[in-house]
Structure formats: C-alpha cells, structure tokens
C-alpha cells in the first residue's frame, strides 16, 4: 500500500476550505478522503477520523473541540460540515466513568456539541477524545483484519507490525470499548499505534500527514507479512466461465427473488461474477469461509452474521431450480430463527427479518440483497473483500471470526434497534420497472414518476444515443439503467428482460410505451407503412406483454403491466387510422392479458394520454414525426398545434409525461384493487370518454 499524499492536492484543500473552516479541518478533510478512496482500508461509511482544534464560543472562551466524522458521512466524500465539533475536555471526563449506557453516551455527545444542527458524532467519539494527538485515523483495513481474526492473532500482529503497539481485546464498540482502550493506552502511553482485535487500526499524529502515512506504513507491513505466508489459492474462472455465469444469473435471479420475497418484502438483487469471485464460490472451502462470519462486527449490520450458500442442480428445469433455491433460503431462515432464539432469551429485542443479504451460488457468482441497488451493492463489496481476506490469510491458518454472541450483540445493538421503523417507505420501494419507448417524452415522464415513487427504472429503447440523453435527464443513480431493445424482435425483448433480471433480480412493473404514428387517409395508406405501424404498436406490445407475463408468472410475486394507450382508442381522428387501429389492438390485447394474468396476481391496466409533446426538454418522437401533418390536416401552423390540443380538452390544460407517469404510479402502487381499467390522461376529451 502506497501513500497517496500529494502536497499540491493538500494545498488545494487548504485554499478551498481553510478560509472558512481553518487549516486543521481542511487537511482533516483531505486525508480523510485519501483513506475513504481506498477500499482496502474502509468500505461504505466505515472507519472514522478526527482532529482537535480550538473553537471560540459565543461568550469569547477558547475551548478545545474534537471534530469527528459524523454519522451518515462517508470518508470518501466527506465535507467539513461532516465533522461535528464536540467539547473534547468533557468527552475525556465521560470516558473515565465506571459505566454508561449507549443512549446516555449519545446524549452526552449531542448535548456537548458546538452546533446543534450538526450530524450525530461517531459512536467512537470517546475513543478519539482520549488520544492526546491532534489527528487520529481509524480504519478497518483488510490486512489488519486478516491478522486479528485468528487464535494467534495478537502474536501475528506483533510479528507483522513490530514493537510499540497497544493491542486491545475485542469489545463491542461504544462506551465499553472506549473505556477499555483508554485503560490500555494509560498502561502504555508511549505506544505508537493501537490495534483493536477483530476491529481495526488506530494511528495518530500532530499533523494530518503524519497520522495518515503512519497508518499506511503499518497496513503495508501487515500486507507484506501476509504475502510472506501465501495460502493455497482458489482457481480464478476463465472468460468462458464468467460469460456462462452472467447468462445463468439472469435465468436464476427471478427464482431467488421469488424465494426471498416470501417474507412479504420486495428485494433488489445485485450480481457479481468476477474471475476471482467465481473461483472462490466454486472452491471446496466456501462453506468454511461462510461459517466463519464477517471480517468485523461492523459488517453484520449490512450482511447479517452469515451468507447463504445456494447450490443449484444442472439444467434449466425451473421446478428443480426453484426447489433448490427454496430449500437453501428456507434452511437459512430456520437457522436465523435459531440464532435469534439462542441469543435473545430474556432480552427486549425486536426481531429483524430473516432474509439473507448475501447469496453465494457456485457456478453463478454472488448476489447482494437489499431494499435498494445501493444496499445490494454494499453487500457485494463487503462479500468480495471478505472472501479475498479469508482466502488470503489462510497461510497463517483458517480465519476465525467472532462468536455469534458478539455478532448478535452488534446486530441487535440498541442504537441500531432505535433506527427501526424510522422513515416512511416509498410506495414502490423494492420494485423494478421497465419502460419501453423509454427515450421519448412519455417514457421519461413515466420513468421519472416511477423513480420518485421508489422504483428502480430501466429505460428500454432501440435508439442508444437517445437512451443516453434520457438517462441524463433523469440523473445518475444506481436505480436507473438503460437497455437497448427492439420491441418488434422477440429475441431482443427476451434478452432485455434477462438483462434486467441480472441487474436487479427481476421485474415488477412493465410499461409498454413504444409507439410510432402515421398520418394518411385510409384510401391513401401505403401497405408497408401500415404494417410498420402495426408491427411496432400492436406486435411490439404483444411481444412485450408476452415476455413480461412470462417473467412475472415465473417470479411469482405478482406485479403490474400498465399500457400507455391513447385517447384515440375511444376517440379516433381522421387520417390517423393506422395509429388508432394499432393502438386499439394493443389496448384490447391488454384487456385479455388482464383476464389471463389475474390468477398470478398480475394486474393489467391502461392509461390513455393525449398530445404529450415533451417532458423536461425531451421531445416526443411521435409528434416530431406526425406533428406537421396533423397541423396541416387541421389547417394550423405547426407552432399552434400544442395550444390547439390544450384548448380542445375540457380542463384547458397541457398534458405532460409527468401526468402520464403519475397515472402509471397510481395503478402500479395498487391504490385500488383494479385490473383491466382504462384511465384517461387527456384533460377531458368528451369523445374519448371510456365506454
């Protein structure tokens, strides 16, 4: 591991932050980000850093403040305001108390902040306070965890890192750990660093650079020690195995999601199948690695205390695959029940769900499970590091994690339990939606509203460049993806749905929206042009609904298909025969789908918009193509067309893609037990009233 310190970069942070926040905090932000940028040191909000600096109170007193990473902040992106300042002298007194509940500790930290609007200080504030040095760095470095999770861990640490270390036995984070660490430090005040067994490393210094580079030097020593004791490596997968794993993932993910959803929740899956991970999940040591638990108890909040190994039979028989999946996840749930019952006796604990957060599938890879793509990705990142560390440290002997008693204590920590039930879930949280014609005005509006309601959204369209522009309008995020799909080609539709399953685990909401239009009188219609409109609007809807139905039935968790139909189904216009007929065919098809898919809990409904010209600057491709002709047919200048349609409806309103999206969300969120219904989104066009 190499130091990433760069004087020019450090000066840039001073120039940016020091005028308002002071030099010490500016450099604290810089070195914290250096730590956060290295996932071999910390993952997803792990670790914490601090600096001690004077503050002047409202009364003019100069007081030593401890600026410490705030709860919810990530070292990789932390800003100065992510370091709440607390009264350092008071924290040093608190850590000397004989006992203190976690809730009381948090109260002391909150009531001795210098800015009440700041985030909660880290749970390890007291640990940072007693060190006399100005800058303190704490990480969960992979190499340190590899050394400390062994029966002979303390000896390995001393051999690897040298003399002058203060080694603290494992104690749950919080007041008890801070008090024990302070006592160990008091007994060895000349120590050069502190190692917390099964937890991580502390270093310190009078400057940000000194604390950081000492940290890097010690982690490098640990890495070198491990390299001198190499394990028997697993065999990485070749390119063919990786490709086969990704293909298999799209096939089995809906079956996994079906079994996971048996707890009544909807889960998002993420999949990873690197050559190294595939080698590890296919390794005979996999079960032992999983049984050894997490690298550090901090991870148990994200991944639970164990992962779930799912071994699949060969072949493509869904029944056999589902049986294997159900058996593995069912066994995991039973084991979690036993784990809870064994450790919760006599305690006032609120039981968490029994759903595994990590699925390890030989031949397929690893699936992360979460209530969002981010949560699933965090599980994958932690698992990738966990397997690498467990394999990498076997040259010293098998990894030995903490007993389940300690893991349960962290998983059911009162400070974590207090967070349960806070916040309101969005109505479509955990849902995955596919919107065809996703690059156009209605597609963007629908996707925007589905996303705002909590769904992960996949924009599908045959125009890759337009998809990229639409995704840019929606904004970056793990909950937005694009897939190139031609709705007129069955193989393209099937491949797109498989890609969605591999990305998120399955699909819950499908919005057939792709469409084209043609303006011409029936007697003048060209045969091929008519067939093209029918192919996209009718056959494209058929292929999309057919594949959606197959996927939703296979997944077994219900779902919604919401067709973007049109006002023209009920109120057709002259010279718009090809469009009106093809959309009427699609509309009728979805009514039949409502009849056929209801036994599987799949609702099929229709929304009938009229005259959506653009959404957030994304134009309607349909109106760009037919607008001039429609204007001429009505004796209008093209610039007058949108106002003409606004004046035509009863409410004299402009219809946007967002309006269509809100109607889709109404159906998809199950606000009424409705299927086979048509909902006008047209401002009120009397000729098009459903009847």
Q: How far apart are CA 541 and CA 59, in angstroms?
A: 71
Other Cβ atoms within 10 Å of 107 Cβ, number: 12
Other Cβ atoms within 10 Å of 332 Cβ, number: 21
Alpha-carbon torsion angle 249, 251, 253, 255, nearest 10: -150
The H or E element containing residue 555 is helix 540-555
First-to-last CA distance in the chain?
Answer: 71
Catalytic annotation on 579?
Answer: yes
Q: Which of 404, 361, 366, 411 is nearest to 385 (CA)?
A: 366
Structure tokens given for 670: 């199950």
Q: How far apart are CA 39 and CA 308, in angstroms?
A: 24
DSSP secondary structure, 464-533, as one string: HHHHHHHHHHH---TTEEEEE--TT-HHHHHHHHHHHHHHHS--SEEE--------B-GGG--HHHHHHH
Q: How far apart are CA 493 and CA 545, in angstroms?
A: 10
CA distances to 114, 121, 653, 684, 690 from 58, in Å: 10, 21, 55, 61, 68
Q: How far apart are CA 497 and CA 424, in angstroms?
A: 30
Active-site choice (67, 212, 579, 645): 579
Q: How far apart are CA 438 and CA 484, in angstroms?
A: 10
Buried b (16+ CB within 10 A) or exposed e, 127-163: bbbbbebbbbbbbbbbbbbbbbbbeebbebbeebbee
CA angle 628, 631, 632 (to 5 degrees): 90
> With left for phi above 0 and alpha for psi between -120 and 50, is residue 683 left, alpha or beta?
left
Contact between residue 545 and residue 559 where contact means Cβ atoms under 8 Å apart: no
Q: How far apart are CA 106 and CA 64, in angstroms?
A: 19
CA gyration radius, the chain: 30
Contact between residue 185 and residue 131 where contact means Cβ atoms under 8 Å apart: yes
Q: Which residues are catalytic?
A: 579
């Amino acid at each position: 591991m190499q130091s990433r310190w760069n004087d020019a970069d450090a000066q840039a942070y001073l120039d940016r932050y020091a005028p308002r926040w002071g030099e010490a905090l500016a450099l604290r932000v810089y070195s914290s980000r250096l730590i956060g940028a290295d996932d071999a040191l910390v993952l997803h909000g792990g670790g914490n850093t601090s600096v001690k600096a004077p503050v002047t109170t409202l009364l003019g007193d100069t007081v030593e403040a401890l600026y410490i990473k705030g709860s919810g902040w990530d070292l990789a992106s932390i800003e100065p305001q992510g370091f709440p300042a607390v009264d350092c002298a008071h924290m040093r007194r608190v850590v000397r108390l004989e006992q203190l509940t976690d809730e009381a500790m948090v109260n002391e930290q909150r009531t001795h902040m210098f800015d009440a609007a700041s985030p909660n200080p880290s749970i390890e504030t007291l640990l940072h306070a007693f060190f006399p040095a100005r800058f303190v760095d704490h990480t969960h470095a992979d190499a340190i965890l590899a050394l400390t999770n062994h029966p002979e861990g303390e000896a390995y640490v001393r051999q690897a890192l040298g003399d002058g270390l203060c080694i603290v036995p494992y104690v749950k984070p919080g007041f008890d750990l801070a008090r024990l660490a302070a006592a160990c430090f008091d007994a060895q005040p000349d120590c050069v660093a502190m190692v917390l067994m099964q937890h991580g490393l502390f270093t310190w210094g009078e400057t940000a650079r000194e604390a950081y580079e000492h940290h890097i030097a010690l982690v490098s020593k640990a890495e070198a020690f491990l390299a001198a004791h190499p394990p028997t490596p697993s065999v990485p997968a070749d390119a063919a195995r990786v490709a086969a794993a990704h293909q298999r993932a799209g096939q089995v993910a809906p079956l996994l999601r079906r079994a996971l959803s048996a707890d009544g929740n909807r889960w998002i899956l993420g999949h990873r199948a690197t050559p190294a991970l595939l080698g590890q999940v296919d390794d005979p040591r996999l079960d032992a690695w999983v049984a050894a638990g997490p690298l550090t108890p901090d991870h148990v909040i994200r991944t639970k205390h164990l992962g779930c190994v799912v071994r699949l039979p060969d072949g493509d028989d869904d029944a056999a695959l589902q049986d294997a999946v159900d058996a593995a996840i069912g066994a995991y749930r039973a084991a979690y029940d036993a784990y809870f019952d064994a450790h919760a006796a006599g305690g006032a604990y609120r039981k968490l769900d029994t759903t595994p957060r990590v699925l390890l599938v030989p031949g397929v890879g690893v699936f992360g499970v979460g209530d969002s793509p981010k949560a699933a990705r965090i599980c994958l990142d932690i698992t990738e590091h966990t397997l690498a560390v467990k394999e990498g440290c076997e040259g010293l002997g098998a990894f030995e994690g903490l007993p389940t008693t300690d893991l349960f204590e962290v998983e059911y920590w009162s400070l974590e339990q207090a967070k349960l039930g806070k916040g309101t879930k969005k109505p479509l949280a955990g849902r995955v939606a596919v919107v065809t014609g996703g690059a156009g005005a209605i597609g963007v509006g629908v996707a925007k509203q589905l996303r705002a309601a909590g769904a992960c959204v996949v924009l599908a369209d045959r125009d890759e460049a337009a998809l990229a522009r639409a995704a840019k309008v929606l904004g970056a995020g793990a909950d937005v993806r694009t897939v190139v799909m031609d709705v007129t080609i069955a193989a393209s539709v099937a491949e797109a749905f498989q890609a969605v399953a591999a990305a998120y685990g399955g699909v819950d909401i499908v919005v057939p929206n792709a469409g084209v239009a043609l303006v011409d009188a029936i007697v003048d219609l060209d045969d091929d042009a008519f067939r093209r409109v029918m192919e996209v609007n009718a056959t494209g809807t058929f292929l999309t609904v057919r594949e959606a139905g197959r996927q939703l039935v296979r997944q077994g968790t219900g779902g919604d298909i919401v067709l973007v139909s049109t006002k023209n189904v009920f109120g057709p216009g002259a010279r718009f025969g090809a469009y009106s007929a093809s959309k009427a065919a699609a509309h009728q098809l979805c009514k039949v789908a409502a009849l056929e898919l209801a036994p599987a809990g799949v609702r099929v409904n229709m929304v009938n918009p009229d005259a959506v010209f653009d959404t957030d600057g994304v134009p309607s491709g349909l109106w760009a193509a037919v607008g001039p002709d429609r204007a001429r047919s009505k004796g209008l200048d093209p610039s007058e067309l949108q106002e003409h349609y606004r004046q035509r409806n009863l409410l004299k309103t402009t219809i946007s893609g967002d309006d269509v999206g809100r109607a889709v969300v109404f159906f998809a969120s199950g606000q009424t037990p409705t299927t086979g219904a048509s909902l006008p989104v047209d401002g009120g066009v009397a000729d098009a009233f459903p009847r």
